[in-house]
Amino acid sequence: MRKLLVSLAMVMGFSTMAQAAAEGDPAAGKEKAQVCTACHGQQGVSAAPTFPNLAGQHPNYLMKQTIEIRDGVRPVPQMAGIVDNLDEQDIADLSAFYANQEPNLGQADPALVDRGKSLYKSGDLAKGIPACMGCHMPTGAGVNSAKFPALSGQHPEYTVSTLQAYAKGERSNDPNAIMRGIASKMSDADMEAVASYVNGLH
């Protein structure tokens, strides 16, 4: 637990030294986003629960993920060829467009709320799982400066698949392996509960 807290503190410290992101133009981003609509929807809310909602997501997080997908740091087969030729300005424009869209409003499964809320707000001391809201904030809003994503309204299926990828080490672009360490301690039931809870958190 102490190592995890130190890692979190380091990430928060490093975020204050991060270089400023390119300034994005939402209007330009809207034009460039036409190729993205098939998977992510016209306004950044995807019809398929396996594709993430981008609407209302922080621009710094969107830029980080898109650049790392483009550069092969985060392998996403579905994005192959789509972002390969985007430069930093293109990515900043796209990120600004999606950040300015109204986020999705989801609904949690009542049967999973108690466990999901407990994990999100308090963690699980016995398993060494910290509270999710420590990084993602009490309302699921995330932290733009630290590139911690907003989780509110995200599809549960996508959130579960992301946690599973972290747990298996298939996704490894989390600073100091924070998410890999947390997800590896979560059961499938834990992942489903917290994913459902954040979908309805707003």
pLDDT of residue 116: 98
The pLDDT, as a whole number, for residue 10 is 44
In percent, how much of the chain has pLDDT > 70? Answer: 90
Question: What's the mean pLDDT in 134-160?
Answer: 98
d(CA 35, CA 79) in angstroms, rounded, equals 11
pLDDT at 19 over 60: no
Q: What is the pLDDT at residue 6?
A: 42
Mean pLDDT of 15-27: 64
For residue 190, what are its two tokens?
């834990």
> In this predicted model, what pLDDT tens digit does every residue of 83-133 receive, in sequence order?
999 999 999 999 999 999 999 999 999 999 999 999 999 999 999 999 999
Provide the residue ranges of all domains of the chain, joining segments of one domain with +: 2-12+105-199, 20-99
Which pLDDT score is estimated for 18?
A: 37
Q: Does domain 20-99 fall into CATH 1.10.760.10?
A: yes
When pLDDT is averaged across residues 33-62 and rounded to a whole number, the result is: 97
Q: Could you write out the DSSP letters of every residue in 81-121? A: TTSTT--HHHHHHHHHHHHTSPPP-----TTTHHHHHHHHH
pLDDT of residue 74: 97
Residue 16 confidence (pLDDT): 36
- Helix then strand then coil, in percent of the chain rounded to 5, is 55, 0, 45
Hey, do 2-12+105-199 and 20-99 end up sharing a CATH topology, with the first three levels equal? yes
**In the structure encoding, which two tokens stand for residue 126, read together?**
């016995």
Farthest CA pair distance, the chain: 49
Which one is the CATH code of 2-12+105-199: 1.10.132.20, 1.10.3720.10, 3.40.50.1100, 1.10.760.10? 1.10.760.10
Q: What is the mean pLDDT of residues 150-165?
A: 98
